[in-house]
Amino acid sequence: MDTTVPATDVPRVLPRDEWVRTLPQTIVASCVLLLDAEDRMLLLRYAEDEPGAGLWGLPGGMLDHGEDPLGAACRELHEETGIVLDREPRFIGYDHRADVKGTGPVIDFYFHGGRLAPGQPVRRSDEHDQDGLIALADLESTPLATPLPALTALHEAALTGTVVCLREGLPH
């Protein structure tokens, strides 16, 4: 026979503010995929003194406090390229990565910003030292910040009007 009596002076749940502090912290970032008339992607190369130096990636970055992913995508695109979109970009996917360089989990949101006008100027930020319109076929030998399977899936989502769910840079 069990004679154990539950303690009555122990709280059954944490107060909300304490419980919230126990939740996992996740970094959130947003990126914009822009295509030209030939379906090439606008990519930027990180400058020598930046994390990811020499790697090519989509315009984008981390959210500011209180910012939503769509707003961050538009802000980062403008900061990194000088481009202001004439319409709201369309959500095309997300990528959940369990741990990025020891910082913990990251969720990247991806948006399709449409097509670049021919001759669209790119005004790079100091964070990048090169930009280019690059076809998927030319990316196999390019050092990438975003894995090629992810860029391929996002490119397809942009062209087909679909959404892709990525995990660790791979479609699922």
Which pLDDT belongs to residue 128? 98
Which pLDDT does position 9 carry in this prediction? Answer: 66
Stated pTM of the model: 0.88
Under the banding of pLDDT at 50, 70 and 90, the label for residue 7 is low
Q: What is the pLDDT of residue 23?
A: 82
| Class of the domain covering 24-171 | alpha beta
Q: What one-letter code names the amino acid at 38?
A: E
Annotated domain spans of the chain: 24-171
pLDDT at 100: 79
Q: What is the rounded average pLDDT of the residues 3-27?
A: 77
Which residue type is seen at 85? Answer: L
Rounded to an integer, what distance in angstroms lies between the CA atom of residue 65 and that of residue 50?
Answer: 22
Three-class SS of the chain: CCCCCCCCCCCCCCCHHHHHHHCCCCEEEEEEEEECCCCCEEEEEECCCCCCCCCEECCEEECCCCCCHHHHHHHHHHHHHCCCCCCCCEEEEEEEECCCCCCCCEEEEEEEEEECCCCCCCCCCCCEEEEEEECHHHCCCCCECCCHHHHHHHHHHHHHCCCEEEECCEEC
Top pLDDT among 102 and 68 is at 68
Across the range 51-59, mean pLDDT stands at 96
